[in-house]
Structures are given as structure tokens and as C-alpha cells.
């Protein structure tokens, strides 16, 4: 009786497909139900008819009944009657450190390198014929695999066992109905990798020296690594992304040549160029194309002005000064507040800080307006120190020489008076300001960069980056990962970017937070999220959230 019921179920499936043959498919890592339906040229509803209780939550090596008369992949064995014994997919052959993989329809070099964890350079080294002739269905490629039992691999795994359990790390909640759209989001990455500079640069190293990359190449490669890892993450979540990478060589003629390529007209998003002047040049050329462009490093207003489709990631100095002014007004209105300038060039910054403090003082008590004193030069702030109050000194510029001189004058006074010095995060890099000064002057800084160790997004990125590159990600890699993940999250559902997807929302990244605002009808949008930190016990502590 049991065999009769089984035969009935098999025949029911058989005839429901119009007498087509059927197969079993084994789910691989990162595969989605939608991807499987595309592979077998069928509908999700048809897969659900063939598989009782099938949901979008798939598990590794789960077996799914699929129709296999349409564009059948070579790794699946066709049979007219399905039994577990008869349908056995062809497995990859492993020999030494190589997997010999048979190409099936729909596979690309990108999907193979991503699936097997190797670089494209490594892939083409072992498969030079693919570079010449492309991938062929039923062709065999060699895929190098690291020895997972090596001491290095075990150390990495042991190190990241310390990362606390954080549940589902996927920050996206893809809608399966939306994902039935097979269109791609096209992203162009235009960065000054300047690969040719490394040829001469590497010649300078002697045989016994470990060669290094040209510094700017290294920065933009690390940024790209973060971008690429974010793209890989959203691809796994169901967004179809095509990434186009261009080396601008920091050359406007090269940028013009790239922009003149027909493919650029089909971009949904452009990341870069990396420098302020080259970004502005490219944005002017692309203004009529209405393509959103991300400036990854510039703090300047120039990348926004007259470029309504631009997105500035790094908060401007104005945002930093306003954050300091707001914090001081909330905590020290009844103290002695001094805004220190070097010369008249700093007057605009000083007025900005002063206005922020005045505005906040009016909100608290309109009858007693606090107007901070603006001073010029190194000596006047010292002359205006008081014994009876805390002395809040705000540096209205980021000039190292000025900061170093005023600190040297303030340190002797710190034993007699209470001093709190505020400045931009550049203070961390100033060589003449010794660690002892930080404590004695109660130095506070504004900053938008702070790796959030213990936060799931940051910990997961560090983990995955370490396993891939054997090092902890730099701030450049974090930057690329953060902003790409945030923007692609907005593209996941309707595939079309608009500024209002970012403005009005607050995003927490692994390195910095994002709070975008409009800057006028004909200008782009900018991130303005800045925090104030206090130096204490050899570390910086965030004071405002």
C-alpha cells in the first residue's frame, strides 16, 4: 500500500508538469529560492506545488524537486520518475588543493570566485583559456582552495570564536515578490587606483625589503575591498548587482574617457571619483544624466554645490564646529567660554560656533543670552582665563602649529585653573601635543569615526574581512562597506535610488553614523552626524548620542 501511495504522488507530480521530466536539486551556500527558480526556468509557485511545505528559508544541502526539461544544468541528472536513489547530482572532483568544477548554465567568473572564495586574478592564473575564450557550459575549471586544516586557518577560526553570538546578521529583509524582477542594479566604481604608479614605486625597494603599495593605491584598494564586501552581502540577500570598476588615474582626461563609454549611461549609482576636484569634474560632465554619485572622502562643500545628485559621506568641518558648539551650550553655558582664532581667516568658523551657543542658550533661557568671547592670537585666550569658573576654550581651526602653540601656553596654567580644550579630531594626529597634555587640559574632540566593537554589523565585517584578507579592516575599508551597504539597502526593493530614501532617516554603520540633510534645491545631500569625545585613561569616550 505504501509503495502504491508513493507511486501515486510521483505520477501526480509527473503529470502536473505536462509529462515533463523532473529532478532533485541540492541547495548550495547562499542560494535562494528565487535563484533556483531562475536556474530551472520555472516559477516559484510551480516549485511550491512540487515541494510540500517549501518556504523561502532554505538550508544547506536541502533537496528540492525541480522541473528539469528546461535548460537543464549539467550537474543535475534527469529522470522521469523521482526516487532518492535515482537522482544523484554530479559532484565536483577534489584533487590536492584544487577543485575541478564543471560549468553549468548561468555561472559566471564572478559567481564562481565568490562561491569558492578566490580572487579573479587567481582564477585566471589557473584557467588562462577562460580569459581567452570565456566560460563554456560543460567545460571544466580549476579552483584553488586553501587548506582549511592549516595552523593559520585554525588560528583565525579560534580568534573569531570570541565574537559573541549575534543571531541573524543579515540586515536586509528581502521581499520575494519584489525579487521576481530579474533586473540588475548597475554600479560604477571610479577611483584613482593609479596602478601604473606602483611599477616605478616598487623598484625602489631592495631585495631584502618587503615591498609595499603606493600609498594612494593602498587607500583606494582598501576602500574598494569594503565596497565589494558590501555588494557581495546584498547579492546574497537577493539584489542583482553588476559592479563596474574603473581606474581614473586621478586624471581628468581619463575620467572624461570613462564617462564617454556608453555603459556609463546605464549606471544606477556611481561611487567616486575619490578627490574633490575630480569628483566635481565628473559630476559636471554627468549632470544631465541624473545619476546619483557618492563622494567617499571629501569634506568640501564643492562636491555638493551645483550637483543635485551628489551624496557626501564625510561630515564637513562646519558640522564638527556645530557639534562642539551644541555640546558646550548644553553643558557649560554658565562657565567661561572662549573661542580661539589664529587670524581673520578663522572668523567664519568662530561665528558659526558662537551662533550655535547663542541659539541654544536662548532655547534654555531667553532672558539671559550667553555670548562667548572670540579672541585672536595665542596670548589673548590666556589673558582671559578665570579662577572662579571652568575655562572652555574652543579652537576655531584645524591648524597644527596654532594648536601646538596654544597648548604649550595653556599647560602651565592647568595646575592653577580648570581648563577644557575643544578641537577637531585632527588633534589626534598632531605630533607636538603629548599624551600628558591631553589629561591636563581635559581635551575634547569632535569626530565622526569610531569603530563600534561589539556591534553586530562591525563585528561581522571585521570577522569576514579578517578571514578574507588576514588583517583587520582599515577605516577606508570600513567606510566603503558602511556607505555601500546603506545605499544598497535603499535599492533592495524598488531598484531606484532617490535622496529621500536617506534624508530623514538615521543609519548606524560599523565606523560612523549617518544622518543626511538637504543643502538646497540645486545641491546634493550630506551626512552631518558628528559626536564629541573626551580623552580619559588613554582612550576616547563618546559623550553625546
* pTM, 2 dp: 0.64
CA distance 211 to 215: 12
- Is residue 346 situated within a structural domain? yes
Domain match, 258 and 278 both: yes
Distance (Å, whole) CA 139 – CA 104 = 8
Give the best-scoring range by mean pLDDT among 73-82, 84-93, 515-524: 515-524
pLDDT higher than threshold 80 for residue 4: no
Model confidence band, residue 257 (pLDDT cutoffs 50, 70, 90) = very high
61 Rama sector, left if φ>0, alpha if ψ -120 to 50, beta otherwise: left
Residue 427 and residue 360 share a domain: yes
If you ran DSSP here, which 8-state letter would residue 150 be given?
Answer: S
| Domain membership flag for residue 535 | no
Contact 352, 321 (CB under 8 A): yes
In terms of residue numbers, what domain contains 279? 185-314+454-528
Give the tens place of pLDDT for each residue, 108-139. 887 788 778 787 878 888 888 887 778 888 78
Amino acid 282: pLDDT: 94
Residues 483 and 411 in one domain: no
Q: Are residues 213 and 116 in the same domain?
A: no
Based on the domain organization, do 323 and 441 belong to the same domain? yes
Q: What percent of the chain has pLDDT over 70?
A: 78
Taking the C-alpha atoms of residue 286 and residue 98, their distance in angstroms, rounded to an integer, is 45
426 lies in the same domain as 476: no
Counted domains in the chain? 4
Contact of 16 with 49, CB cutoff 8 Å: yes
Tell whether 124 and 204 lie within a shared domain: no
Q: Give the integer Cα–Cα distance in Å for 175 and 492.
A: 9
Same-domain check for residues 517 and 497: yes
State the first-to-last Cα distance of the chain, in angstroms, to the nearest integer: 68
Q: Grid coordinates standing for 99? A: 577543485
pLDDT digits 0-9 by tens, 317-371: 999 999 999 999 989 988 999 999 999 999 999 999 999 988 887 877 656 677 8
Place of cell 588560528: 155
For helices 215-237 and 475-491, angle between their N-to-C axes, nearest 10 degrees: 30
pLDDT score at 516? 93
Q: What is the CATH number of the domain that holds 63?
A: 3.10.350.10
Q: What is the DSSP string of 464-494?
A: HHHHHHSSPPPHHHHHHHHHHHHHHHHHTTT
d(CA 65, CA 492): 28
- 348 and 287 in a common domain: no
Amino acid at each position: 500500500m505504501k509503495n502504491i501511495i508513493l507511486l501515486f504522488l510521483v505520477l501526480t507530480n509527473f503529470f502536473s508538469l505536462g509529462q515533463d521530466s523532473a529532478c532533485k536539486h541540492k541547495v548550495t551556500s547562499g542560494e535562494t529560492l528565487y535563484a533556483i527558480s531562475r536556474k530551472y526556468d520555472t516559477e516559484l509557485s510551480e516549485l511550491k506545488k512540487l515541494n510540500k511545505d517549501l518556504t523561502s528559508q532554505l538550508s544547506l544541502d536541502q533537496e528540492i524537486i525541480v522541473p528539469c526539461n528546461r535548460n537543464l544544468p549539467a550537474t543535475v541528472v534527469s529522470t522521469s520518475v523521482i526516487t532518492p536513489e535515482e537522482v544523484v547530482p554530479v559532484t565536483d572532483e577534489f584533487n590536492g588543493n584544487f577543485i575541478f568544477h564543471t560549468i553549468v548554465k548561468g555561472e559566471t567568473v564572478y559567481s564562481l570566485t565568490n562561491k569558492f572564495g578566490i580572487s579573479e586574478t587567481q582564477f585566471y592564473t589557473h584557467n588562462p583559456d577562460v580569459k581567452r575564450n570565456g566560460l563554456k557550459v560543460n567545460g571544466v575549471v580549476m579552483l584553488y582552495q586553501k587548506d582549511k586544516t592549516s595552523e593559520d586557518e585554525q588560528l583565525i577560526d579560534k580568534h573569531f570564536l570570541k565574537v559573541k553570538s549575534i543571531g541573524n546578521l543579515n540586515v536586509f529583509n528581502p521581499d520575494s515578490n519584489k525579487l521576481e524582477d530579474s533586473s540588475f542594479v548597475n554600479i560604477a566604481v571610479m577611483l584613482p587606483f593609479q596602478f601604473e604608479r606602483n611599477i616605478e614605486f616598487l623598484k625602489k625597494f631592495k631585495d631584502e625589503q618587503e615591498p609595499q603599495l603606493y600609498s594612494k593605491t593602498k587607500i583606494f584598494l582598501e576602500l574598494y575591498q569594503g565596497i565589494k564586501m558590501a555588494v557581495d552581502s546584498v547579492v546574497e540577500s537577493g539584489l542583482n548587482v553588476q559592479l563596474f570598476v574603473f581606474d581614473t588615474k586621478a586624471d581628468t582626461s581619463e575620467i572624461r574617457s570613462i564617462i564617454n563609454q556608453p555603459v556609463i549611461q546605464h549606471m544606477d549609482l556611481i561611487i567616486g571619483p575619490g578627490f574633490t576636484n575630480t569628483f566635481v569634474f565628473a559630476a559636471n560632465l554627468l549632470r544631465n544624466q541624473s545619476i546619483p554619485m557618492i563622494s567617499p572622502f571629501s569634506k568640501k562643500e564643492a562636491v555638493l554645490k551645483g550637483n543635485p545628485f551628489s551624496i557626501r559621506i564625510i561630515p564637513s568641518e562646519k558640522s564638527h564646529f556645530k557639534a562642539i558648539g551644541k555640546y558646550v551650550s548644553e553643558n557649560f553655558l554658565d562657565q567661561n567660554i572662549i573661542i580661539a582664532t589664529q587670524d581673520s581667516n578663522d572668523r567664519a568658523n568662530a561665528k558659526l560656533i558662537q551662533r550655535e551657543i547663542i541659539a541654544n542658550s536662548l532655547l534654555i533661557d531667553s532672558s539671559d543670552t550667553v555670548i562667548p568671547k572670540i579672541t585672536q592670537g595665542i596670548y589673548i585666550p590666556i589673558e582671559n582665563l578665570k579662577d572662579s569658573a571652568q575655562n572652555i576654550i574652543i579652537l576655531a581651526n584645524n591648524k597644527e602649529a596654532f594648536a601646538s602653540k596654544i597648548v604649550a601656553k595653556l599647560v602651565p596654567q592647568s595646575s592653577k585653573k580648570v581648563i577644557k580644550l575643544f578641537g577637531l579630531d585632527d588633534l589626534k594626529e598632531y605630533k607636538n601635543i603629548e599624551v600628558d597634555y591631553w589629561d591636563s587640559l581635559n581635551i575634547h574632540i569632535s569626530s565622526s569615526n569610531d569603530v563600534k566593537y561589539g556591534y553586530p554589523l562591525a563585528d561581522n565585517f571585521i570577522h569576514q574581512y579578517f578571514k578574507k584578507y588576514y588583517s583587520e579592516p582599515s577605516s577606508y575599508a570600513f567606510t566603503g562597506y558602511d556607505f555601500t551597504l546603506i545605499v544598497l539597502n535603499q535599492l533592495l526593493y524598488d531598484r531606484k535610488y532617490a535622496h529621500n530614501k536617506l534624508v530623514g532617516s538615521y543609519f548606524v554603520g560599523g565606523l560612523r553614523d549617518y544622518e543626511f540633510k538637504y543643502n538646497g534645491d540645486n545641491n546634493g545631500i550630506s551626512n552631518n552626524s558628528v559626536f564629541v569625545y573626551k580623552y580619559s585613561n588613554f582612550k576616547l569616550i563618546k559623550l553625546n548620542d
